[in-house]
Amino acid sequence: MAQRFGGKYSPKGTPQTQSKAQGSYTAARVDPVGARANFMFLPPVALVFTALFQGAIGLVLGAAGAGVLCLGAWLLRGGLQAEAAYNDRKVARRPALPRKILAALLAGAGIGLGALSHDSGIIAAVLYGVVTAGLHLSAFGIDPLAHKGMEGVDTFQQDRVARVVDEADAHLTAMTDALRRVGDRAINDRMAGFQTAARKLIRIVEEDPRDLTAARKYLGVYLLGARDATAKFADIYTRNHSAEARADYLALLDDLERNFAARNEKLLLDDRSDLTIEIDVLRDRLDREGVRLD
């Protein structure tokens, strides 16, 4: 859908503050898949086409190899997305399924079957498969094989945090999808600013699961209400372009962003207070042991 450009120098535009423009960039996410992974769907097509001229056995082997290659390419996409989510968080578990490693093995198996479909010997097919798997691993790497930032973390509490975070991410994604029907640049920028504050709160809770109790209402009830309000606004605005509904929704986003930012600051202040208390307690214990800290 076409969008009217809005800004300081556009017709009927309004000046935009730096804070509002900044949100659209900080909330942006790069697709972790990329063109290289998408190109992995081309070899299966080429293999099926060439196998059509290799007789019945060659056709069956070529079709099987193409299916294996497609499965590997699909697993590779999931592996890249899981790796990006892992790298984006300071506290994360390793992926339960090593998709990138499995994708490399499937790529080698698919190329091996493709070699057999062209009357290559078993030894040659195995060599082709091994080389393909090695090149695949060198190009895309392997999956994260260790937990990150999990030392001393209660796994039960971390699981609770993971469920709340996944639910919050789903609400934010639903809000973005609903506003695509509106096609209003100013509203999208304001939503980006609010989502930046919400994702900062998510990261704070991920790094310290003890903050879940204080932030759960924000990541659950408030985001659920914001999601429902966004869907209702999108329905109303796409029908009649109500200026009053638009103003009310922008005011709601401003209020949500301020409240989430205030909660972020409150949690950070509480964390610093807890650290000060722990330092004072440690100093007192050392002092009783006769150790002086100058």
Assess whether pLDDT exceeds 90 at residue 241. no
Distance CA 200, CA 263 (A): 10
Give the mean pLDDT of 34-53: 88
Q: Where are the beta strands (DSSP E) in the chain?
A: none
pLDDT attached to residue 104? 94
> Does 271 score more than 60 pLDDT?
no
**How sure is the predictor about 270, in pLDDT bands with cuts at 50, 70 and 90?**
low
Task: Report the alpha-carbon distance of residue 180 to residue 187 in Å, rounded.
Answer: 10
* Residue (of 198, 208, 219, 206) closest to 264 by Cα position: 198
Please determine, for residue 179, whether its predicted confidence score (pLDDT) is greater than 50: yes
Q: What is the pLDDT of residue 109?
A: 94
What mean pLDDT is predicted for residues 142-150?
78
User: What are the residue ranges spanned by the domains of the chain?
Assistant: 34-140, 154-288
208: pLDDT strictly greater than 80: no
Q: What is the pLDDT of residue 112?
A: 92
Average pLDDT, integer, range 83-104: 83
| Confidence at 286, pLDDT banded by 50, 70, 90 | low
The residues, ordered by sequence, that sit 6+ positions from 118 with a Cβ below 8 Å of its Cβ are 50, 51, 54, 58
Rounded mean pLDDT of the chain?
A: 78
CA distances from 207 to 22, 85, 200, 264, 273 (A): 24, 14, 11, 13, 17
Q: What is the reported pLDDT for 25? A: 46
pLDDT value at 74 more than 60: yes
